[in-house]
A and B are shown apart, each in its own frame.
Chain A
Amino acid sequence: MDFDFTDDQESLRDATRKWVEKGYGFERRTGIVKAGGFSRDAYGELVGLGLTGLYIAEDDGGLGMGPVEGMVVMEELGRGMVLEPFAQTLVASGLLSGYAPDALRSAWLPKIASGESLVVLAYQERAARYDFEKCEAKAMEAHGGYALTATKSIVAAGDQADAFIVPALANGQMALFLVERTAAGVATSGYVTQDGARAAEVTFDQAPACLLTLDGLSALAHGIDIGIAAVCAEAVGVMDRTLAVTVEYMNTRKQFGVVISSFQALRHRVADMKMQLELARSMSYYASLKLNAPAEERRRALARAKYQLGVSMRFVGQQAVQLHGGIGVTDEYIVSHYFKKLTQLEMTFGDTLHHLGEVSSRMQDTAGVFA
């Protein structure tokens, strides 16, 4: 029972933090948003730090690291609200490493590690909302492989990614497939989302697909849990900065002849934000530490974490805007961007109410961290 980071983990944090502070400031980010929400150059800089190989075994050209390292990197990227979907790289590399046949692994993992390929999860369907088990996409066996027909929404960097991991029903059971963006029958329609990042609607019309695994539902659940843990960590980074800029503002802004941080009502609001931040940080640790647990235990833990993170994100985001007064709702000042990022993260991989339902339905007689 130990929550210290190793020296290597601290070095990883430092390296990522330095890149964000020096190379991904608010100005650069704003430019990337204006240009469509995704910069291949910026993604390439993450490659340069070795990060795209984080969850990939050294034999496949990666760093062979685990959930805690992923958490550390995501926190740092969250602090800079980095637009490039690094969490998707963690999900894709986790899924390929854990569930794909050897041929697919050795074909794709080195390309993900080297940055040559950006692979993202394309799973969201209109009717499913957050219930990813509901799937209408279909894949039929064809030409020695599969032909996949689907419409997937809000795919991270969907019109920029090189390949998609797509859940689809094969003979009525959910399976996972890999489809390249340049394959026949694949069409994308890109846009910017509320947090400034890029997404796309992706349609597949009998597109040639490689089978990743027939054990689709377990694999997808696992992939989404990797994503949840990543999003939890990212949110902690965002909230940490959100609280910091709020504190700085309150200690500078004067009204009625005093700094507004001297007003007790506002001080108590800050105490409540600190509470939410630390509850969130605690549950982010919990989420990452439970990522390698057996499936039922993992699902339960990640649902608990995402519920807490959702509560925290909403409170911290809303209150940060409130405590800034008028400038909190401007586009020019950074805090509205933190708020929009937190709002979007809350709705990624299932929102607070959804995960409350998950916690509720998975509840056991016992209580606590070790239950």
Chain B
Amino acid sequence: MDLAFTPEEQTFRDEIRAWVHANLPADIAHKVHNALRLSRDDMQRWAKILGAKGWLGHGWPKEFGGPGWNAVQKHLFEEECALAGAPRVVPFGPVMVAPVIMAFGTPEQQQRFLPGIASGEVWWSQGYSEPGAGSDLASVKCKAERHGDQFIVNGQKTWTTLGQYGEWIFCLVRTSTEGKPQTGISFLLIDMKSPGVTVRPIKLLDGEAEVNEVWFDNVAVPAENLIGEENKGWTYAKHLLSHERTNIADVNRSKRELERLKRIAQAEGVYDDLRFRDEIARLEVDVVALEMLVLRVLSAEKSGKNSLDIAGLLKIKGSEIQQRYSELMMQAAGPFSLPFIEEAMEAGWQGNFPGGMVADAPLASSYFNLRKTTIYGGSNEVQRNIVAQFVLG
């Protein structure tokens, strides 16, 4: 039993760190470190830089052009990116749909779609949730009716993250109403420029339109955009869930944000308030404990052991930590987190923020926004159901 990374792992980390520092644009890192707004261009710029290096699909198998990193190397890569202030990779293309295309798509589909995903050129969206299908995802109603060599799609998707930038969308659509809901779902790839596709932004409580509704009104989709077999879509979607188990903990970003919390608390003069400091101390231990859980899962992956009972805990604890640091940051700024001045959340704003500390500007919005973390990705209540299933049977 050993906490330390091996010399080879350390060398790998050093190489990644050097590359990230040389290639991550400083203006993007500045925005990430200060929780300022990222534009579509910012996110795509980073995706293309990673893509050019072959690291956008860094989890892909070697046969599909992935670098062939093991679980620890992937973790270290993500950590170095997070610590340096790289934006989150928009996962829908490289992390979510690509593995499905690789596992269940035809060679033609792989040749057609994977290069655009790997390079960062093509922006993908996820078409899963519907107004009536949140936790109960299998109850999706968006219909795809087969007519000759086409599917005609009618329905609505919701909570489509960054859908306003999306060029392609992968959807769970209903192709049969017989039998259990799960057995009538297909996995369909849809060009968002198709006639009949309408994207409407949903404004969230932080004032931003991070998510969208996507309406499908008699949208014609070529049959060759179906992945695998009709009515097997639920199996393909579940395949995704067995991947990327430790990412969901977001511990690397949480370490960076905890350091930022300490700086904010110092700047606000509450770091020496023992009551406040003790709250940070509690979070400090939470972050160490979560990181230890992540390392245990990585170690199990390395030695080929099963750690599914622990992996289920990562999303619950990780999301609670994200909420807690954002809460404490807002509390540190206190009443000076209250002015809602949208321009102040853009990089380079030269105005006067009430109270004089422009770093206070995004704190309440971040706190409000991160309430989503215990809801999405399988709500924490559903996650607890899954954990309970492991323990109780």
Contact = CB atoms under 8 A, between A and B. Distances in A.
A50 to B, nearest CB: 20
Given A286-B292, A366-B259, A271 B1 contact: no
B3 A1 contact: yes
Interface in A244-296: 247, 250-251, 261, 264, 267-268, 270-272, 274-275, 278-279, 282-283, 285-286, 288-290
A360 B2 contact: no
Interface string A282-325: 11011011100000000000001001100000000000000000
Given A3-B300, A285-B296, A363-B262, A268 B388 contact: yes
A275 B393 CA distance: 16
Contacts of A360: 274, 277-278, 280-281
B303 A308 contact: no
A267 B316 CA distance: 15
A172 interface: no
Contact of B299 (A3, A271, A308, A357): A3
B384 interface: yes
A363 B282 CA distance: 11
B282 A289 contact: no
A304 B284 contact: yes
A282 B284 contact: no
B288 interface: yes
Contacts of B300: 3
Contacts of A251: 392-393
Interface in B61-90: 72
A369 B295 contact: yes
Nearest to B277: A360
A367 interface: yes
Contact of A3 (B256, B288, B295, B316): B295
A365 interface: yes
B4 interface: yes
A267 B392 contact: yes
Contacts of A268: 381, 384-385, 388
Query: What's the dominant secondary structure at chain B's contact region?
Result: helix
A359 B274 CA distance: 12
Interface in B361-379: none
Contacts of B296: 3, 282, 285
- Bin chain B's interface residue count: 35 or more
B277 A367 contact: no
A307 B285 contact: yes
A16 to B, nearest CB: 17
Contact of A285 (B263, B292, B302, B303): B292
Query: What's the dominant secondary structure at chain A's contact region?
Result: helix
B3 A369 contact: yes
Contacts of B313: 274-275, 278-279
Contacts of B316: 271, 275
B124 to A, nearest CB: 32
Contacts of B392: 247, 250-251, 261, 267, 270
A21 B284 CA distance: 38
A275 B317 contact: yes
Interface in B84-119: none
A329 B278 CA distance: 33
Contacts of B342: none
B317 A367 contact: no
Nearest to B386: A271
Contact of B278 (A9, A278, A304, A356): A356
Contacts of A283: 285, 288-289, 292
A61 to B, nearest CB: 26
Given A1-B298, A275-B317, A308-B285, A247 B4 contact: no
Nearest to A293: B3
Contacts of B280: 360, 363
Contact of A1 (B9, B259, B285, B317): B9
Contacts of B317: 275, 279
Contacts of A278: 293, 309-310, 313
Contact of B288 (A9, A250, A369): A369
Given A4-B299, A360-B274, A368-B255, A285 B1 contact: yes
Interface in A72-129: none
A228 interface: no
B289 A308 contact: yes
B299 A1 contact: yes
Contacts of B352: none
25 contacts: A1-B9, A1-B72, A2-B299, A3-B1, A4-B299, A4-B305, A5-B1, A9-B1, A268-B388, A271-B385, A272-B384, A274-B313, A275-B387, A279-B313, A283-B289, A304-B284, A304-B288, A307-B285, A308-B288, A359-B285, A363-B262, A363-B281, A363-B284, A367-B262, A368-B287
Given A251-B393, A369-B295, 10 more contacts: A2-B1, A4-B305, A5-B1, A283-B289, A286-B3, A289-B2, A360-B281, A363-B277, A367-B255, A368-B255
Interface of B: 1-6, 9, 72, 251, 254-256, 258-259, 262-263, 274, 277-278, 280-282, 284-285, 287-289, 291-293, 295-296, 298-300, 302-303, 305, 309-310, 313, 316-317, 381, 383-385, 387-388, 390-393
Interchain residue pairs A-B with the least CB separation, the first 6: A282-B292, A267-B388, A360-B281, A271-B384, A367-B258, A271-B387
